[in-house]
Amino acid sequence: MKKLNDLVNKYSYNINYDADDDVYIGNCAEIPSIQAHGNDPDSALTEIRKAVLGALKWMEKDKQTLPEPFSLHKFSGEFRVRMPPEKHRKVAIEAALQGISMNQLIVSKL
């Protein structure tokens, strides 16, 4: 159980206000299918952590692989992007006109 509690604290959480329902909604990036709400940001965070813990217990019982927290993942800093040839040409031209690499152009747009 302590292992799961430690894991819950390492996940990435996001809290947003929902004006329609006048509540705060908590999400977990590693398990996006789960949401929880609260009357304030702190209670929404508490509730989403409870929901994630419950999901992890269920997944562990079902012998499913638990999602790795983004905070523990070692990112390489590289990823491939596929695009239509015409878009590739457009990006290459725009980068050349700015005197920078396509990589620098794309990173600046992110």
Whether 15 and 24 have beta carbons less than 8 Å apart is answered as: yes
**10-25: pLDDT as tens digits:** 999 999 999 999 999 9
Domains in the chain (CATH in brackets) are: 2-72 (3.30.160.250), 76-110 (no CATH)
At 90, list the tokens. Answer: 């457009």
Q: What is the pTM of this model?
A: 0.77
Strand order, beta sheet including 23-28? 13-18, 23-28, 35-38
**87-103: pLDDT as tens digits:** 999 999 999 999 999 99
Whether 56 and 78 have beta carbons less than 8 Å apart is answered as: no
